[in-house]
Amino acid sequence: MESVWRRPAWAQGDVLAYGGDYCPEQWPEAVWAEDFRLMEEAGVNLVTVGVFAWARLQPAPGRWDFGWLDRVLDGLAEHRIAVCLATATASPPPWLTAAHPEIQLVRADGVRLSHGSRQGWCPSSAAYKDAALELAEQVAGRYAGHPALALWHISNELGCHNPVCYCDESAARFRVWLEDRYETVENLNLAWGTDFWSQRLSAWEEVLPPRTTSYFGNPAHLNDYVRFSSDELRGQLQAEAALLRQLAPDVPVTTNFMLPGRWRSLDYGAWAADVDVVANDHYTLSDDPRPHVAVALAADASRGVGGGRPWLLMEHAASAVSWQKANRAKTPGEMRRNSLAHIAHGAEGALFFQWRAAVAGAERYHSAMLPHAGADSDQFRAVAALGADLAKLAPIAGSTVAAPIGLVVDRDSWAASLRPTLPSAFLDYGAALREWYEALWDAHLTCDVIPSTADFNSYKVLVTPHWQLLDAAEAQRLRDFVEQGGHLVATYFTGVADRCDQVVTGGYPGALRDLLGVRVEEFRPLLEGQEVKLSDGTAGRLWTEPVKLAGATAAAFYVSGPSAGFPAVTRAERGAGVAWYVSTQLNPAGLGEFADRVADEAAVPRIDAPADVEITVRRGAEALYTFVINHSAEAVALKFDGVDLLTGDTGPVMAVPAGDVRVVEQALR
């Protein structure tokens, strides 16, 4: 197996990446020596350099200053620390936006953003793109052969703050994008349904970005603008990648995704094809009562968008962040469990934002591997201990995770769910995704979180929350999946409209009506806080439907609420498989029971483990690696056959203290 990065010459055998963002430009050179020394002490072997260094690398048009970066890279190489080198295009310097104000993003209300934060560029700006590619070319040309170079880091969190721009330059490019897609204005009128509200267009020139309007906009217009904007950002990714591949053909490229949250607008399923390594940034939320579930979900999505490829955790936090309301510090052990959980779910290493805590700027209170307190700190000691752990886990490098269940994310549907004019504004795609994921996680079921474009063949079960926009061909793919033995779990508000957001008539859920064997004549959403009881003792909220059976059988009925007496959950056998329909947002108990039942019917192998003990298996060429992460407050004892790479313990009974982790290696016979 191969590493996800170009292994530097000094690397012997397998190795997991360990390190973080490193911003030497923020520090006097005198500090660098201490950085290198402490990195070595902590087991750091990969650092990301230069992400926000444009203003330092190019102090003025045509002027370049690479000397300091030469010294940084030389120093790192000397200390056997590889570099994930940024193209440095993420944030243009003040002189550039001063010369080209049109680079700055324009909001829907016409306000052009001011310089003074980061990444405020319009994704369609030609002036930005020209300058960025000139910079990338300089960087790539200079460092393509540098011995420290292991991986290219394109831009940074593309679209994080500039997912959509409403300027005239964007408008012009949007028209071109639409013409490519629809060819004629008449096709566009049909696709957007412009005969509604007198919106019929007579010429391409009349197309505008969905700027601030008097009332609700056209949903198809809004859908296409999200798609266009994602494609514009992807265009930047592709342009930089092409340039890097030309100048340094043997160095892999990556960019850091923001899974799962930004999947709501960015088409990561497609973008994954543009990078050699999928990388992800993930931060837990202070008010998440179970942040470890969010970690697992993000990791399974990172693996899922790349089709199961090994991937890299490019950023996570050593402790607190500084952009939430109350920025909770991680508890002792939490950082280690987070890092190892990402690896358990397929990451080829764990990197942090960032190496050394900044003292200035908007992120000065963001935690780091090396905190403000310095090396004499519990934080740094924990970082060094984790580095030692990762060194012990080197054998797992290149191993992969196989999942019997696919949890399907449809970017278009997620984006569409965020807008008004739906039956309920309480529809929450992200929350539904998390709730389904959490039910699977609690049932110790391993799943891939995959784009709706993924190949479904390898899965026994597919769960598709809120796949609102679904074409006939996709309905056919799902039918094929089921008829060939798959188990499909479709939820309310799945399959109701096509990709143009035009409702499929004849009864909901439109294109899936026959497959699911149900017919629904109207949605009956619940008010905020309202709950309905089901006949199996569970409950639902947010949504109900008076489901009528048309081939399916009822698995549970509503016994209260506006759809009382109607089936709530149905089951239809189709070919060799089963198609389920869940017409309400089940409560956790309901989701849990349902997950168990589906897994049993689909003969998905179950891992028997106590609650809150996460068990994940990576398969290597010659061994299985079972991660046991005890998130509970109780020590557990599990039977295992093998040896714990972290402690050297062998079985047959493995004690895992509360908060601790084991990684059991078991040779494949």
Where do runs of H (alpha helix) occur along 144-262?
A: 168-182, 185-192, 219-247
527, 528, 532, 536: CA torsion to nearest 10: 140
Candidates 232, 315, 438, 474; catalytic one? 315
Q: Is 157 labeled as catalytic in the residue annotation?
A: yes
Residue type at position 261: G
Residue 57, C-beta contacts closer than 8 angstroms, at least 6 positions apart: 50, 64, 65, 66, 69, 88, 135, 138, 139
When the beta carbons of 164 and 277 are compared against a copy of itself, the nearer one is 164
When the beta carbons of 191 and 397 are compared against a copy of itself, the nearer one is 191
The two three-digit tokens of residue 320, written as one number: 């607190």
Q: How far is the CB of 462 from a copy of itself (least distance, A)?
A: 25
The two three-digit tokens of residue 664, written as one number: 């059991």
The string of DSSP codes covering 65-121 is --HHHHHHHHHHHHTT-EEEEE---SS--HHHHHH-GGGB-B-TTSPBPPSSSS--B
Residue type at position 549: L
The two three-digit tokens of residue 432, written as one number: 């539904």
When the beta carbons of 33 and 611 are compared against a copy of itself, the nearer one is 33
Give the integer Cα–Cα distance in Å for 18 and 313.
9
When the beta carbons of 124 and 302 are compared against a copy of itself, the nearer one is 124
Closest CA to 368 of 423, 325, 322, 412: 322
Give the integer Cα–Cα distance in Å for 498 and 356.
49
Give the integer Cα–Cα distance in Å for 291 and 367.
17
- In the beta sheet, which residues pair with residue 628? 615, 662
Q: How far is the CB of 576 from a copy of itself (least distance, A)?
A: 30
Q: How far is the CB of 240 from a copy of itself (least distance, A)?
A: 16
Starting from the edge strand earliest in sequence, which strands make up the sheet with 461-464, in order?
447-451, 405-409, 461-464, 487-491, 577-582, 567-574, 553-557
CB atoms under 10 Å from CB of 25, counted, come to 15
Give the integer Cα–Cα distance in Å for 443 and 602.
14
Closest CA to 458 of 346, 315, 307: 307
Give the integer Cα–Cα distance in Å for 535 and 473.
35
Q: How far is the CB of 355 from a copy of itself (least distance, A)?
A: 14
When the beta carbons of 127 and 542 are compared against a copy of itself, the nearer one is 542
Q: How far is the CB of 216 from a copy of itself (least distance, A)?
A: 4
When the beta carbons of 264 and 519 are compared against a copy of itself, the nearer one is 519
Give the integer Cα–Cα distance in Å for 197 and 238.
38
Phi/psi at 19 (5° precision): 160, -145
When the beta carbons of 109 and 250 are compared against a copy of itself, the nearer one is 109
When the beta carbons of 244 and 321 are compared against a copy of itself, the nearer one is 321
Q: How far is the CB of 185 from a copy of itself (least distance, A)?
A: 11
Q: How far is the CB of 55 from a copy of itself (least distance, A)?
A: 4
Pairing of strands 539-541, 547-549: unpaired
When the beta carbons of 370 and 599 are compared against a copy of itself, the nearer one is 370
Give the integer Cα–Cα distance in Å for 452 and 435.
18
The SS3 assignment for 26 reads helix
Candidates 157, 240, 474, 665; catalytic one? 157
Q: How far is the CB of 417 from a copy of itself (least distance, A)?
A: 12
Q: How far is the CB of 631 from a copy of itself (least distance, A)?
A: 17
Q: Is 665 labeled as catalytic in the residue annotation?
A: no
- Which residues are designated catalytic? 157, 315
